Amino acid sequence: MNPNPQLMTAVEELGYRVTCGDVVTHTGIYLEEARAGLLTLASQTGGHLQVTDTGEVIYVLAPDFRQILLRKSVRLQFKAWFDRFWAVGFYLVRISFGVLLIASITVVYLTILAITLAAIFGSEGGGDCGDDNCVLGIFNWGGSNSNSDSRMTEMEPSRSKKKQRKSLNFLEAVFSVLFGDGNPNADLEQRRWRYIGNLIHRQQGVAIAEQIAPYLDDLGQGYDREYENYMLPVLTKFNGIPEVSPTGQLVYHFPDLQTTLKDESSESTKVPKVLRERKWKFSKATPTQLRWSIALFAANLVGIGILSIMLDGISSSLISSSIAILTLYGTGLIVIPACRYFWIKYQASQVRTRNKLRSQNVKLLQQGEFIQAKLDYAKQFAKQYRIGDRDIIYTTEEDVLSQEFKRLE
């Protein structure tokens, strides 16, 4: 079984000594998944188990448990190397779009300049520029004029290289303008369940449906909503138990989230009143970078259009193929951001709608006596056991006989 990355991060952030419930409220993963993952992690890294007098298990892992796992698992070593390779490779891919853009503009406009100069010098020198000889002759210039132009073309790449070195962030911005920066709500489900777990934990292991509703998306209609069927995934994830009051009202009890090692003042236990999705942004590029990127996209396409007109009529498959590729590339630089702009507008409207619906669910807690009656009934199930050193009756760090002697003393 491969360790869950979220679980390992939670162990580190919680101080390498955790209960199953603490990990669940910190990450939002399934309770059984957390229990199995912690047990596997402890066995593979030489961790220890501590048992309290109430039967709660505490998992104690070494601060270097990641290094221990890497040494023992060839697969994890390969994954670590692959992750490093992927990070470098993806970064190179990101900046390559900026490099290609600058290269395309440089090649296109230098070619336009060369054709123009060839036409001018060819007509002044009385040369024959008929049948496109001036265009084809740009590759076979000679004399003092060609040396001067050659020096100019040699200087141009060096300038562009200096720009590339100074404008590395701009190269990344080109990729951002083209393809964006990923889904800002990729961690939405993780946040949803972490908030719910922390809410239940802060309320000493008990909750009512109206308190959970602002973190859920679809509460259903009619029968499903009336009988709180939307709570079933929450009960499944955290091993909850529905309790029915004498008047037929439902409250939800989560015994596994009532035992903790965490401090209540911890930042990780703070819960917003409602789950809000983050706004979609067109790009993380600065306004200046955005304007420059769009200007260069347009300049590149205009240059390709001018070059294709200047080379029109030349019967060369190489030139025709090159122009076709450049045209497709330049058009893509305009079309992709334009389509993405409208798609993001649509996504932003959907996010606003979902956020508004979840915010409206907060009003469910404003039903006066009905809600108060449920909260009063829930109080009898609210308990919290904060584990101290005195509560531990057994640990795998010492043999059983030594621990028995200590207790007798």
Encoded tokens for 98: 């900026």
User: How many angstroms separate the CA atoms of 218 and 224, rounded?
Assistant: 10
Q: What crossing angle do the helices spanning 20-27 and 188-202 adopt, rounded to 10°?
A: 130
- The domain defined by 5-74+390-408 folds into Arc Repressor Mutant, subunit A (1.10.10)
Task: Dump the DSSP string for 324-338.
Answer: HHHHHHHHHHHHHHH
Do 65 and 41 form a contact (C-beta atoms < 8 A)? yes
Rounded CA-CA distance 401/409 in Å is: 12
C-alpha to C-alpha distance for 334 and 297, rounded to whole angstroms: 6
pLDDT value at position 409? 53
Q: What average pLDDT values come out for the chain (409 residues) when binned by 10 residues? A: 82 91 90 90 88 86 87 75 86 90 92 87 56 48 42 42 48 91 92 93 92 91 85 93 90 91 64 92 90 93 91 81 91 94 94 94 85 90 83 70 54
Ramachandran category for residue 48: left, alpha or beta (phi over 0 → left; psi -120 to 50 → alpha): beta
* pLDDT value of position 169: 74
Q: What is the pLDDT of residue 199?
A: 93
Report d(CA 382, CA 203) in Å as an integer: 7
CB atoms within 10 A of CB 88: 10
Is 48 in contact with 397 (CB distance < 8 Å)?
A: yes
What local confidence, expressed as pLDDT, does residue 155 receive? 42
Sheet arrangement for strand 48-52: 17-19, 57-60, 48-52, 392-395
Q: What is the pTM of this model?
A: 0.76
- Would you list the DSSP string of 134-150? HHHGGGS--HHHHHHHH
Cα(189)–Cα(192) distance, rounded to whole angstroms?
Answer: 5
Contact (CB, 8 A) for 61 and 70: no
Measured in whole angstroms, the distance separating CA 122 from the mean position of its chain's CA atoms is 58
Tokens 């100074």 belong to residue:
166
**Nearest partner of 69 among 113, 32, 116, 37, judged by Cα:** 37
Q: Select from 333, 347, 218 the least CA-distant residue to 281.
A: 347
Question: What does the alpha-carbon distance between residue 68 and residue 3 come to, in Å, rounded to a whole number?
Answer: 13
Backbone angles phi, psi at 385, to 5 degrees: -110, 110
Encoding tokens for residue 244?
């029915």
Q: Hey, where are the domains in the chain?
A: 5-74+390-408, 76-182+281-354
Q: Which amino acid is at 340?
A: R
Which helix (H) or strand (E) is 68 found in, with range? helix 65-72
For residues 361 and 211, what is the distance between their CA atoms, to the nearest angstrom?
9
Going edge to edge, which strands form the sheet with 241-244?
206-207, 250-253, 241-244
Cα→Cα distances 323→36, 108, 228, 312, 318, Å? 59, 10, 63, 10, 9
Write phi, then psi, for 154 (nearest 5 degrees): -75, -35
H or E stretch covering 181: none
